[in-house]
Amino acid sequence: MTNTTKKFIQWLMSLTVLLRCFVIALLFHVAILLVIGSIKIAGAIPEIVAAFGDAPPPTPLEEEPDPMAAYRDVDYQAPGVSGPQAPVEYKVAIAEAPKSATDSQVAEVIGVMSDSVTAVARLQGTAGALTAPTFAGGGDNKIGIVGIATAGSGHWTGRLGPARAINAAKHGASARTEAAVMAALRWFKANQNSDGSWAAGANRDALTALAVLCFLGRGETTESKEFGDAVSRGIQFLVASIDSNGVVPARGSYMYTQGAVTLALSEAYGMTQAKAIRDPLERSIKAILAAQKVNKMGAWRYTMTAPNADTSVSAWLIMSLKSAKLAGIDVPEDSFKLASNYLWTVYDDDGGFGYTAPSRRVNMTGAGVLCQQFLGQSTDPRIKKALDYLKQQKVDWDETAGAHVLYGWYYVTQAMFQGGGSYWEYWNKQIRDAVVNKQAPDGHWASPTKSKEDSNGPVYTTALACLILEVYYRYMPIHQEMERNALSAATAPETK
């Protein structure tokens, strides 16, 4: 017996007979009440059984396949790196990344967003100065979830969180492509200038726009835990690059730069609806539309007052206008019709697009096809003929010759993705592994062996390669967009 029991008995025996009887009776009744109470409680709890009429309960369904399974348990190694650890140089490049963004490979590769990241804040501020996001409601300060509350923003949801992983798996990405994109973004973060730009020299504005497009292409906005500061400073630099007339004066109002900067700001505005972006974006759009009318050709070339046009420059400006339209900026339909008509003037009957006249050039065919797809011409038989021509091309990093190989692959990849089916299956098998295998250990890319693109610097080549690997979720396929629009029209309530 324990000491406690001995002491209790000794205490009980020290009492008078009458008190001992009282204590024993009290303990006896307490024990009875405990037993009766437990029986009643057990009897009062009903057995919960689902009722399905006369039919037996259904067999539990198997769990649906995890669309993100392909991106879990990733042990990515950059090309040329052996062993379980990343190279020292790479570690230095990402040393400043928050622990929460680097301690899980699943979080890195899939990018599943927390509630706070899902509810992307609408930035508040004035042109040229993006301030910290402010959550508010109503009026000009209205905020919302990307893809739900803002005009045109549904076009960007495929880049975000779980949707990105689903689209990546659906369209043929791999764990290596996603890890390569993350490595590239970390390289950009580590190599950003103090003023928010990237690179230096006359092309700095355009190169900064390309870098920002890479972040936005993966759904990394100013609210990104790891990249938010880099994105915010990059956008601030681009906002400040547009003058009061809507022109990007860098390199003498070079229209390549105008197109790249406007495209980046269009996507940034579409994903954030930040007031600080809208005003300079609208000014830039007006300047582009004015330039389109100058040469009477419905397209653009190197300067705002150029008397002629070409496919390459026009492609950047067409995509910037289209993205601005999707983001909720007013762009007249006539502008798109004029641009589409111009592209047909450089179409070759053998199936392809030329630079300033009809011919079949791989780079220009990729750009021409993509633009016509976004301009509503994807079902035109001429587009199929051009896609057939692109399907004859091969991706060979070491042997493909040309001045702008990566530039051409950037457009061909998007055109074939939009073409879908056998076009995309053929092209993706080649481009995906070719690009991933040539990434440097620190996350950047040099140009293909026989291309001359290295003269533009590593920001340029890295941006193009990164954007190629983001094709799986950057834009929704045109046929899906058409199906969604048709469904919306069919289910819309009738108006009287």
159-188 pLDDT per residue, tens: 998 999 999 999 999 999 999 999 999 999
DSSP collapsed to 3 states, the chain: CCHHHHHHHHHHHCCCHHHHHHHHHHHHHHHHHHHHHHHHHHHHCCCCCCCCCCCCCCCCCCCCCCCCHHHCCCCCCCCCCCCCCCCHHHHHHCCCCCHHHHCCHHHHHHCCCCHHHHCCCCCCEECCEECCCCCCCCHHHCCCCCCCCCCCHHHHHHHCHHHHHHHHHHCCCCHHHHHHHHHHHHHHHHCCCCCCCCCCCCCHHHHHHHHHHHHHHCCCCCCCCCCHHHHHHHHHHHHHCCCCCCCCCHHHHCHHHHHHHHHHHHHHHHHHCCHHHHHHHHHHHHHHHHHHCCCCCCCCCCCCCCCCCCHHHHHHHHHHHHHHHHCCCCCCHHHHHHHHHHHHHCEECCCEECCCCCCCCHHHHHHHHHHHHHCCCCCCHHHHHHHHHHCCCCCCCCCCEECCHHHHHHHHHHHHHHHCHHHHHHHHHHHHHHHHHCCCCCCCCCCCCEECHHHHCHHHHHHHHHHHHCHHHHCCCHHHHHHHHHHHHHHCCCCC
The tens digit of pLDDT for each residue in 226-235 reads: 999 999 999 9
- Asked whether residue 381 carries a pLDDT value surpassing 80, the answer given is yes
Model confidence at 367, pLDDT cuts 50, 70, 90, reads very high
Model confidence at 114, pLDDT cuts 50, 70, 90, reads very low
- Asked whether residue 147 carries a pLDDT value surpassing 50, the answer given is no
What was the pLDDT predicted at 3? Answer: 67
Model confidence at 5, pLDDT cuts 50, 70, 90, reads low
Q: pLDDT exceeding 90 applies to what percent of the chain?
A: 61
Model confidence at 25, pLDDT cuts 50, 70, 90, reads confident
Task: Give the mean pLDDT of 356-367.
Answer: 97
The tens digit of pLDDT for each residue in 314-346 reads: 999 999 999 999 999 999 999 999 999 999 999
